[in-house]
């Protein structure tokens, strides 16, 4: 059985998710944006050698900030990021650390993913869809009925598009892409509360057909 646990990390309050499969005895993290003792303890409790991936939804510092350190602690884990955000991990202007007066530990990801990529996890596949808009290389990870959307889709809102490599037209297409997925999904956002795709279809103004007219 797959279990998702949410931890809020860093001063900006980004979500870090610990996802585990007790049967397969495997786990992964999503967006290790900052040091969090509870996250580290949870990984150790599950099994230090059982952490398979550190999935990064995009390259901003509040989502990648502690990835290098986590890999050092748990060397079996592979860092995964969208290929168009690969350079964010070494450029503080792009990952925004510089703009917040911070120093980001630079690193290279182990695995670069793009549209259609798949990652093995137990008996399942983690599917990757490209969702540019917040950043060029933003991706969402789909596992079963769960989607980890990073800063693409929030409860009642979407991510900003005015940062480097952001693009409102690409964001619109990405939101339409998520809206068009068949069925309902649990949405695990990069910030704020967990939601569902059906709820966002009905209530998120950015999923309305005419929402973007004034932006062009």
pTM across the whole model: 0.96
Indicate whether 5 pLDDT > 80: yes
Count Cβ atoms below 10 Å from residue 180 Cβ, excluding itself: 8
Per-residue pLDDT band for 102 (boundaries 50, 70, 90) equals confident
pLDDT at position 100: 86
Indicate whether 208 pLDDT > 90: no
- C-alpha to C-alpha distances, 93 to 5, 56, 68, 164, nearest whole angstrom: 31, 18, 18, 8
pLDDT at position 168: 96
Where in the chain are the domains? 2-215
Indicate whether 214 pLDDT > 60: no
How much is the average pLDDT of 90-101? 93
Indicate whether 35 pLDDT > 50: yes
For residues 80 and 119, give the distance between their C-alpha atoms in angstroms, rounded to a whole number: 10
Q: What is the pLDDT of residues 122-161, one digit of tens each?
A: 999 999 999 999 999 999 999 999 999 999 999 999 999 9
For residues 101 and 109, give the distance between their C-alpha atoms in angstroms, rounded to a whole number: 23
In the 8-state DSSP scheme, what is residue 152?
S
Q: What is the CATH number of domain 2-215?
A: 3.60.15.10
pLDDT at position 155: 98
Indicate whether 213 pLDDT > 90: no
Question: Mean pLDDT of all residues in the chain?
Answer: 95
pLDDT at position 216: 43
129 has which bridge partners?
140
């Amino acid at each position: 059985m797959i279990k998702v646990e949410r931890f809020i990390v860093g001063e900006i309050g980004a979500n870090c998710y610990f996802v585990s499969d007790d049967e397969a005895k495997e786990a992964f993290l999503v967006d290790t944006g900052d040091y969090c003792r509870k996250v580290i303890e949870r990984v150790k409790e599950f099994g230090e050698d059982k952490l398979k991936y550190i999935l990064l939804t995009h390259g901003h510092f509040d989502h990648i900030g502690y990835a290098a350190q986590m890999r050092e602690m748990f060397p079996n884990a592979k860092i995964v990021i969208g290929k168009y955000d690969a350079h964010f991990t070494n450029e503080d202007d792009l990952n925004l650390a510089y703009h917040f007066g911070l120093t980001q530990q630079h690193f290279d990801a182990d695995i670069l993913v793009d549209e259609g990529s798949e990652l093995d996890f137990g008996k399942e596949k983690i599917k990757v869809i490209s969702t540019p808009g917040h950043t060029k290389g933003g991706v969402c990870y789909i596992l079963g009925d769960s989607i980890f959307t990073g800063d693409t889709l929030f409860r009642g809102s979407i991510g900003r598009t005015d940062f480097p490599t952001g693009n409102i037209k690409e964001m619109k297409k990405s939101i339409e892409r998520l809206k068009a997925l068949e069925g309902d999904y649990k949405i695990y956002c990069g910030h704020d509360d967990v939601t569902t795709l059906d709820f966002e279809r009905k209530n998120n103004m950015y999923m309305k057909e005419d929402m973007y007219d004034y932006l062009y």
